[in-house]
Structure formats: structure tokens, C-alpha cells
Amino acid sequence: MSGAPAGGRFRLAIIGAGFAGLGLAIRLRQRGTTDFVVLERGATVGGTWRDNTYPGAACDVPSNLYSFSFAPNPSWSRSFSAQREIQAYLEDSAARSGVLPHVRFGHEVTQAVWNDEDACWDVDTVRGRVRATVLVSARGPLSEPSLPDLPGLADFRGTLFHSARWDHHHDLTGERVAVVGTGASAVQFVPRIQPRVAQLHVFQRTPPWIVPRRDRALSGFEHALFRWVPGTQLAARAAVYWAREAYVLGFVGSPVRRRRRARIAVDMARRHLERQVPDPALRARLTPDYELGCKRILVSSDYYPSLGRPNVELVTDPIAQVTERGVVTRDGRERPVDTIVFGTGFDVAGTGAAARTFGRQHRPLAEAWRPRLAAYKGMTVPGFPNLFLMVGPNTGLGHSSMVFVIESQIAYLLGALDAMERAGAASIEVRPAALAAWDAEIGRRSGQSVWTQGGCRSWYLDAEGRNVAIWPGSSWSYRRATRRFDLGAYAVTTRSTAFPRPRPAAAGGAPVAPARGPWAPGAPAGAP
């Protein structure tokens, strides 16, 4: 549906065609639901994996786990897939499942407003308005790059860009380059650009914990086995999943228990650092002083060696300002650079989109999230009927595949749609008491966790030091919490209460029997 103008009313509108939005669309199609539209700002599906094309971009979760369970790929080339292969997988999944006709490309959403009178969402895009009974925000937390507020940044006369908006037309060969940030993206692109640049200054605020990347090419035998005996790939996926799930034992519980359980992983990370960084002075600056897991654990086997090259300097003094030609640290030293690359993460709280999403009484979601970011089961918020968030607050993982969480949320959401049909609901809205109890439990469980007690500050925490991003437990416990939709936690408005409408009569004067199917009740639907 690329290029088609906006318009029409749908039972379901999905914002974003990354893993979350695309996964939901595929599951809707698999169960025979067609009355939905996917609003995508880009020219193709993929989301994060379409936008992040920096050198070395790849996943740090094994391929067999970082994929849909309902759309397995027996042809992964490596145990850890690169960006292009993941993007190709998503494009192929969209084509095979038949969801592409439902996607409106180039339809960036500018705002979404709940219409109480008609019990629907008015979703404005750059190409017009769409109306939907249910709105699903599947933008994802890694969609909007975050730039630090550095004094003088606007005065810089060289080239600057964020890793998520990599400037492939700009040649770094022979340049003096500053890399700001040492997170998941930086540890992947730094080794790739290091051989080409004349001088590389890597500005590190806090050293990350890094474990080896045990990547390898998958054999032809494995491909054939996965293709002809699908159960073997499911078994491989399960093995990877439970091995990853064990990591969480080192993240929760009392400090003594956490550290004892995490000892094997900590020893592995320390040996990795010692083997790859022989210089004791450099190694000391790369050694974390907080518990493993407090910040995101990174996976790389070539980042440490790149920092030891003659043309690389690891800078640990804080940045004071940016000048027209360089970067000045707090000690007063200026390092002349031609290009600045930011590997400084994303607006994971989605503050921009939240400010443009308006619920009852035209209240913005950003206001509802002051002073605390919270959503019931990470998906629904009081005052915002029929709105579901995917990968919302406290649904992130520090140890396993987000696709597992996404599939849990898809199942919960589909259960909500079925419950609305059975109840004849025009709208459902989570009760404030349900969210309060959920949020209190998140706080209780986070209080005995590495994310709040691990000795670091991370984007997992808000300004008050409260965990607002990470699920404080195993991914399996989140699946249990979302395994069925709990309508009792929601206030329900029926169609007759919301907007009573006479049922049209058949030719003989008898009422028309209601159609059957997941979207039968309610107003007429627009064709995607």
C-alpha cells in the first residue's frame, strides 16, 4: 500500500513496522483478521534494523532466538546475524505472510487523539487521517536517536551524525574522528572504522562489561537439518533460550546471592579483558567498577583489540564543550577532529511520541507519565482507552531476546481483542488501581536487583533512580504474567453505552444477524 493516501476507519491501527508491529500484523493475518492498517514512516519494513546501518551492525542475541517462533528461518548464515540479514528476514516475513497490502509506507504519525464521542482514535499522519477503534503503538524504544546536550555543539564546523543515522556518503578515510559513547553500537562500529581513520578518539564515560562474541558460520548440514526437520531448529532455539534465561539469576536477589550466581559470567568477562588488553593502564580504564548487568552487557571480540591500536586514544575525561574544530575535555585539552560520531543511544522513554498522544480530556501521555513512567504489564495506561504499547515501560530485557517479550505482548493483545468482542465493548481502559498494584510490584522486585543496586547509573533508571525500563525478572515470568488477558483489570464501555445505533433491517423487516469473526461487531471497517 506504499504511497496510498491516509483515510478510512479500521478496527486496528498499528504504528510502526519493526519486529513488534510486523509480528502483530502477521499474527492477525494468520488468524484471518484483515481489518487493520500499519502506519510506517519509512519506505520498507524493519524499524530499528532498517535504520541502523552503521558499519558492523549486528545482533547480540543468537539468530535462532532473535526471530519469530511462528516464522522460523532455517537459512541464517551465522549464529549471530548481521543487520542486512535481519532486515532481509523481516522483509521476507512480511511478504510471505501477506501483510504488505496492509502497510502504508511514508505515513509518519504526527499525533493520535482519542475521540470519546465515537470511541475511536483519530490518527494524523503526514498524508492524512486514519480512524481506528484500537491503536497499537509499536514504535519501539530504539527508534529516536538521542544526542547529548554539549555546549558549543551547534558551532562545530565539521561533520557530525548519530550511529543510527550513519552518513554513508561521508568518507572517514584519513580523518580525525571523535566517537562519543561506548555502548552497544559503538563497540560494533569502532573496530570497523579504526583501520580507515588517521586518528580515533573514543570518549568513554563508563566502561561496559563485555563478553566474547562466539560467532560462527552455520554449516550446510545445519541448514538442511533445520529445513527438513524443523523440530531440530526449535530444539536449538529452546537450548539458547534457557541458557540465556539462566543469566537473570545473577541480576535479581540480594547482593550476596547475585554476585555468587554471576561469578562465572564475571570471571569470563574479566579473562576476556585480560587476554585482549595487555596494557595494564589501558585495562584499568576499561575495567567496570559496578556489578555485571547493572548496565547492558555487551558482546564483542574485536572492540578491545581496536582500542590498543596506535591511532586510537581512549579518553575518559568528561567532555566540557565542543568548539568549531574539536572537542574539549574538562582538563582543558582540545582534540582537533574532522568528524564526530555519536553512539549515545536513543530516546527509550519515547517522550516525543508520548507528547503527541492524547487520551481522555485531551491529556497527553507525556503528562500522564509525570512523575513516573509506568504502564500496566508494560502495555496500557489509565485515561487512554483502547491504546496498547508494545515494548513499553519495564518490558526490556538485559539477558535475552526482545522478540520473546514481543510475542508475549502479541498474545496478550489478541486476547484483549477477543475479550472486547465477547463483551461487546466499544472501549476498555485499565483501572488506576490495577496499574498502581502492578507498578508497586515492579518497584518491589526492582529493589532487590542489579539494576537499582548494582552501583551504576543507566538509561534503565529515571531521574529518581527508579527502574522504568527493565523487566525485573525472567522473561518466562513475563510470559506467565501476560499469558491471558485479564478483563477484570479494565473498565469496559459497551457499544450501546458509547454510541447506540439502530441495527439495519433486512428485506423482510427482521434485524440483520451479526456477522461472525474477530472484528464483526461495531462500525463499518475501511478496506486496507
Print pLDDT tens along the chain (528 aa). 555 566 789 999 999 999 999 999 999 999 999 999 999 999 999 999 999 999 999 999 999 999 999 999 999 999 999 999 999 999 999 999 999 999 999 999 999 999 999 999 999 999 999 999 999 999 977 767 888 899 999 999 999 999 999 999 999 999 999 999 999 999 999 999 999 999 999 999 999 999 999 999 999 999 999 999 999 999 999 999 999 999 999 999 999 999 999 999 999 999 999 999 999 999 999 999 999 999 999 999 999 999 999 999 999 999 999 999 999 999 999 999 999 999 998 776 667 889 999 999 999 999 999 988 999 999 999 999 999 999 999 999 989 999 999 999 999 999 999 999 999 999 999 999 999 999 999 999 999 899 999 999 898 999 899 999 999 999 999 999 999 999 999 999 997 655 444 333 333 333 323 222 322 223 222 223
What is the number of structural domains in the chain? Answer: 2
Joined together, the cell numbers standing for residue 101 give 497490502
Residue 168 and residue 134 in one domain: no
Cα dihedral 318, 56, 97, 412 sign: negative
Domain that holds residue 161: 153-209+252-342
| 55 within domain boundaries | yes
CA distance 101 to 371: 40
Peptide bond connecting 371 to the previous residue in cis, omega within 30 degrees of 0:
yes
Residue 181 and residue 276 in one domain: yes
| 223 within domain boundaries | no
CATH code of residue 299: 3.50.50.60
Closest CA to 412 of 400, 399, 395: 395
Residue 309 and residue 190 in one domain: yes
Residue 180 and residue 275 in one domain: yes
Strands 128-137 and 326-329: unpaired
Residue 39 and residue 83 in one domain: yes
pLDDT, position 372: 87
Nearest 5°: CA angle at 292, between 60 and 294?
90
Joined together, the cell numbers standing for residue 467 give 527502574
pLDDT, position 528: 30
Of 322, 342, 362, the domain-final residue: 342
Closest CA to 2 of 124, 99, 112: 99
Residue 337 and residue 362 in one domain: no
pLDDT, position 6: 63
Residue 420 and residue 482 in one domain: yes
pLDDT, position 525: 27
CA distance 160 to 11: 43
List C-alpha distances in Å: 210 to 187, 284, 435: 9, 14, 36
pLDDT, position 5: 66
Residues pairing with 376 in the sheet: 380
Of 321, 342, 363, the domain-final residue: 342
Residue 367 and residue 409 in one domain: yes
Of 287, 307, 342, the domain-final residue: 342
Joined together, the cell numbers standing for residue 63 give 539468530
Residue 261 and residue 277 in one domain: yes
CA distance 189 to 192: 5
pLDDT, position 42: 95
